[in-house]
Amino acid sequence: MYGKSAILFCYIAIILLALVNTSNAQIPVYKYSFKTDFSIPVVTGSRAYRNTFSGVMSVNPAFNAHTPFGVYATAGFNYLQNKTANSKNFNLGVLEVKHHILSPYAAIGYEYFNGGNFFWRADFSYRRSFGRFSRSLVPDTVAQEPQLTQQFNEFAISSSISFYSDEHLSFGFNVGYHLQQYSFDPFPYYFDTVNNNTGKEDISNRNSFITFGLGFTYHFAPFKKQPIRESK
């Protein structure tokens, strides 16, 4: 809990520091960019899922198309993995489960450039997510059961702040919130098989996540007719 709060505090402090350090430098406006984020997901949704799984990683490569007005569009995919390590619900000597979620998505957002130092962006995305469970350390009776898979809609809001290392490459921090149109129900798969103490009343809420991470962005050639934008 304290570690997550510290990450959030550092992220807010960096944003405030960067906003104070404004300048009137001229800023390249790029047509296209490629970005990749590496994050840690924190489960905030249904109690059943939150007590069963903990976040492992989230990888988010994407291609961006920019406009001279700060608005941009994004197409990419997100891979997110959770697992039952330190689960409150299951005896891990019997069962270890990983939940893999692959989500192609499209997003629209706005970005603000500050001099030649940094840029801040925020976007909203729609994702079509495909989930599946993989199992290890399980009895043969469990391993022979059908794989559980899901398809569901997901919506996400994300924000990042990045600092330029040269004219094209930047590195920074990101935070996001993901709401899934999916409710985790452990009973069809785990009930009477392992030590499951999840209550039926715990599975009513939708799954959701908060992600904290790092990433980089590579910007391609500027617009030919409007190669720079004045910072204000």
The residue extents of the domains of the chain are 2-223
Q: Is the pLDDT of residue 76 over 80?
A: yes
Model confidence at 1, pLDDT cuts 50, 70, 90, reads very low
Separation in Å, CA 158 to CA 17, 60, 115, 123 = 20, 11, 23, 6
% helix, strand, coil for the chain, step of 5:
15, 55, 30
Percent of all residues in the chain with a pLDDT value above 90, rounded to a whole number: 38
Q: How far apart are CA 5 and CA 111, in angstroms?
A: 26
The pTM (predicted TM-score) of the whole model is 0.76
Local confidence band at 74 (pLDDT 50, 70, 90 cut-offs): very high
- In this prediction, residue 183 carries a pLDDT of 83
pLDDT value of residue 21: 46
Tell me 222's DSSP state.
B
CB of 143 within 8 A of CB of 135? yes
Distances in whole angstroms, Cα of residue 36 to Cα of each of 79, 132, 169, 222, 223:
11, 23, 12, 20, 23
Q: Given this model, what pLDDT does residue 186 score?
A: 67
Q: Which two tokens stand for residue 165?
A: 């290392």
Confidence of residue 201 (pLDDT cuts 50, 70, 90): low
Query: What are 157-175's pLDDT values in tens digits?
Result: 999 999 888 878 889 999 9
What pLDDT was estimated at residue 42? Answer: 92
**Is residue 198's pLDDT more than 80?**
no
Encode pLDDT of 87-131 as tens digits.
555 554 556 778 899 999 999 999 988 766 788 899 999 999 999
Query: What is the per-residue DSSP string for 82-101?
Result: EE-TT-SSS-TTT-EEEEEE
Q: Which of 82, 166, 59, 80 is nearest to 116 (CA)?
A: 166
Summarised one tens digit per residue, pLDDT across range 49-69 is 887 788 899 999 999 999 888
| Domain 2-223 is found in CATH 3.10.450.50 | no
Distance between CA atoms of residues 48 and 8, nearest Å: 25
